[in-house]
Amino acid sequence: MTDTSVLDIPGIAAVTPTWLGSCLAAAGLPRARITRIGAARIGTGQAARCARLTIEYADATPDAPRTLVAKFASDDPATRAGCAAMGIYRREVEFYRDVAPRLTMRLPRCYFLAVDEPGEQFLILMQDLAPATAGDQLAGCSPNVVHAAVLELVGLQAPTWCDATLGARFMEPPDGFFSDMYGLYNRMLTPFVERFGGILGPEALGIITTLGEARQAPLFQPVGRPFCLEHRDYRPDNLMIDTSVGSPRVTAVDWQGMRTGRPLNDVALCVAGSLEPEVRRAVEQDILRHYHAALLRAGVRDFDFAQCWYEYRRAAFAGFGLAVVAAMTVVQTPRGDRMFAAMAERYARHALDVGADEFLRT
Residues 200, 22: Cα–Cα separation, whole Å: 51
Residues 345, 339: Cα–Cα separation, whole Å: 10
Q: In which domain, by residue range, is 92 found?
A: 12-127
Which of 97, 112, 127 finishes a domain? Answer: 127
Is residue 5 in some structural domain? no
Q: What is the CATH number of the domain that holds 48?
A: 3.30.200.20
Do both 103 and 34 map to the same domain?
yes
Do both 30 and 143 map to the same domain?
no
Question: How many folded domains does the chain comprise?
Answer: 2
Closest CA to 127 of 53, 58, 74, 72: 53
Q: Is the Cβ–Cβ distance between 138 and 144 less than 8 Å?
A: no
Phi, psi of 138 (to 5 degrees): -70, -45
Is residue 209 in some structural domain? yes
Do both 265 and 209 map to the same domain?
yes
pLDDT along the chain (362 residues), means of 10: 49 83 88 90 77 92 90 86 86 94 96 89 93 91 97 98 92 84 95 95 96 95 95 94 91 93 97 96 97 98 97 96 89 88 96 96 74
Is residue 223 in some structural domain? yes
Which of 69, 92, 127 finishes a domain? Answer: 127
Which of 79, 101, 127 finishes a domain? Answer: 127
Closest CA to 55 of 7, 16, 113: 16
Is residue 100 in some structural domain? yes
Do both 64 and 192 map to the same domain?
no
Is residue 61 in some structural domain? yes
- State the pairing for strand pair 122-127/67-73: antiparallel
The confidence score (pLDDT) of residue 7 equals 43
Which residues, 6 or more positions from 45, have their beta carbon under 8 angstroms from its beta carbon? 237, 254
Distances (CA, A) of 287 to 109, 234, 282, 305: 28, 16, 10, 12
Do both 179 and 87 map to the same domain?
no
Do both 208 and 356 map to the same domain?
yes
Residues 215, 219: Cα–Cα separation, whole Å: 9
Residues 351, 358: Cα–Cα separation, whole Å: 10
Do both 202 and 306 map to the same domain?
yes
Residues 276, 261: Cα–Cα separation, whole Å: 25
